[in-house]
Amino acid sequence: MATIRRRLTLWYTVALAVTVLAFGTALYLERRQASIRELDQRLSLEADLAQRWLSQSYSVLGRIVTTSNLKPSLDPGISAYLEATRDYLIVADTGGQVLGLSDIARTLNAPALERLTAPLDTLPLTRHSGELSLPPPIGSVRYLVVLVDNAGPLVGGLLVATPTKQASFGPSDLLRSMLLIAPLILLGAGLLGYWLAGTSLRPVQGIMDEVDAISDGTSLHRRLAVPLSGDEMARLAATVNGMLARLEQSFSSLHRFTADASHELKTPLMVLRAGVERALVHPGTPSEILQSLDETLAQINQMTEIVENLLTLARADEGRAPLAVEETDLRELVADVAETAGMLGESAGVTAVHTMPDEPVRLAVDRHRIREMLLNMVTNAIKYTPQGGTVTLRLEDNADSVTITVRDTGIGIAPGDLPHIFERFWRADPARSRTGERPGTGLGLAITKWIAEAHGGSITVQSRPGRGSSFTVRLPKMEAGVT
Ligand SMILES: Nc1ncnc2c1ncn2[C@@H]1O[C@H](COP(=O)(O)OP(=O)(O)O)[C@@H](O)[C@H]1O
Ligand SMILES: [Mg+2]
């Protein structure tokens, strides 16, 4: 969850960074191009003005070039106008010899000036523009060469130029601002993306929580709330609901099958038992047959017990095992079970004792189920306690609950076995099979746990091998019988 959120945020931020970068680059290049266009326009304007000045002066004066010291140059009156130009301006004769310079062009050193006049040397002279690089600190310049053919035979053309630094000043400023702002934008976008991802993934979190609550096995009838949005979340919820429905169906058919099978087995078992019992009391039955009939009867009883336990558990799973709850004095039940324990213990050589309060312990419970639960625990205690041991049955009335403890001094349970003892058909020592010295089916504690939980209570166990075990059932006073 957290990783999807982080991944989404990362991708979102990266995508935005790329977009911002591409946008910024495009903007920068476009701005630069536009600045150069503006520069070219300015140069062209200046060149046209100078050309017109020269040609008009020529048509008025008839002569604009003077030759002093063998070097031809523009008349001072003419060049004074041109000197004021704020860009580099060079007027040359047809051979590329310089006739006049603007003030700023005069500041150039010899090599720079020579490089700048180079475009005027290429004959025949035509109007063209381009870029030149001059020695630092001027750097590259944008220039425009214009042919001047109507200002007398001595004037050939002129060149105007200006450093591109001027033009790129705007865009490079832009670049710097963008570099400053971009991290802020990305940080903001990252936070926004993180929040957005969290918001859009929240329904998934909700669905996960709901599924968690449902998949405890007893809530398969529950369904997820399908959002009305009709988006992916709605489809996900609907899909999970479909899966839950199929799961519920297969679970319930499994439970139904177990319940039906156990139910169907009950009648034939009863008929079988009646038949074997009748044969046992028949006077003509030979003694060796009697013994095998005895064993058969024991097996039939065992099987009847399994079938009945299975039926109970299957009905509980189906939710078809309602509790017949009534107000009961638990002391009666405990005394009753203790009496049975006394009889069972006597034949096993185990002492059974019980302690309980003097006051009645009233609680709304299903008497038969609680009795069954206590009998399960007590028979286990006696079964797994060697001769000479003690089984203690204790009833306690607490403020908000009633606890019943069955403690024995028997063989105990290995720590590794403790988590399994409430599982169906689980037995610590299956080798001592069903009819051996400790017969059993492994269903008793599963039923005991179900009965405790059906009353809203719980069962816990403490045990150490060789030191005995202690099973404690806690029944809450408030919720008794609610489940
Ligand atoms: N009081 C106990 N002392 C030692 N082991 C016990 C005790 N109660 C239960 N167990 C262990 O838990 C297993 C499951 O008990 P249970 O479900 O009642 O089946 P069963 O009594 O038919 O064997 C038993 O097989 C036994 O190994
Ligand atoms: Mg048992």
Q: Tell me, using a 6 A CB cutoff, whether residue 441 lines ligand 1.
A: yes
- Distance of alpha carbon 179 from alpha carbon 168, whole angstroms: 16
Q: Tell me, using a 6 A CB cutoff, whether residue 413 lines ligand 1.
A: yes
Q: Tell me, using a 6 A CB cutoff, whether residue 361 lines ligand 1.
A: no
**What fold does the segment set 2-170 form as a domain?**
Beta-Lactamase (3.30.450)
Domain positions in the chain:
2-170, 232-318, 325-476
Q: Which pLDDT score, from 0 to 100, does residue 84 have?
A: 75
CB within 8 Å of 374: residues ≥ 6 apart: 333, 334, 337, 393, 404, 406
**Considering every ligand atom, which ligand is closest to the CA of 427?**
1
Q: Tell me, using a 6 A CB cutoff, whether residue 333 lines ligand 1.
A: no
Q: Give the predicted TM-score (pTM) of the model.
A: 0.61
Nearest CA to ligand 1 atom 8: 380
Query: What are the angstrom distances between the C-alpha of 241 and each of 210, 215, 238?
Result: 11, 12, 5
Q: How would you write 21-83 as a 3-class SS string? A: HHHHHHHHHHHHHHHHHHHHHHHHHHHHHHHHHHHHHHHHHCCCEEEECCEEEECHHHHHHHH
Q: Which pLDDT score, from 0 to 100, does residue 168 have?
A: 59
Q: Which pLDDT score, from 0 to 100, does residue 483 have?
A: 43
Q: How far is the CA of 427 from the centre of ligand 1 (A)?
A: 6
- Closest ligand 1 atom to 379 CA: 21
Q: Tell me, using a 6 A CB cutoff, whether residue 391 lines ligand 1.
A: no
If the chain, 483 residues long, is cut into consecutive pieces of 10 residues, what is the mean pLDDT of each piece? 78 87 85 84 86 81 74 76 80 78 78 78 76 80 84 80 72 76 86 87 85 76 84 87 91 89 92 94 90 92 91 86 92 96 94 95 94 95 94 94 96 93 86 62 93 95 94 83 43
- Distance of alpha carbon 88 from alpha carbon 103, whole angstroms: 8
**Considering every ligand atom, which ligand is closest to the CA of 391?**
1
Nearest CA to ligand 1 atom 12: 421
Coil, strand or helix: which one is 430?
Answer: coil
Domain 325-476 has CATH 1.10.645.10: no
Nearest CA to ligand 1 atom 7: 380
Burial of 207 (0-12, 13-18, 19+ CB in 10 A): middle
Q: Tell me, using a 6 A CB cutoff, whether residue 378 lines ligand 1.
A: no
- Among residues 414, 412, 440, the alpha carbon closest in space to that of 426 is found at 440
Q: How far is the CA of 8 from the centre of ligand 2 (A)?
A: 56
**Considering every ligand atom, which ligand is closest to the CA of 446?**
1
For the chain, the C-alpha Rg in angstroms (whole number) is 53
**What fold does the segment set 232-318 form as a domain?**
Helix Hairpins (1.10.287)
Q: Which pLDDT score, from 0 to 100, does residue 360 have?
A: 94
Under 8 Å between Cβ of 222 and 214:
yes
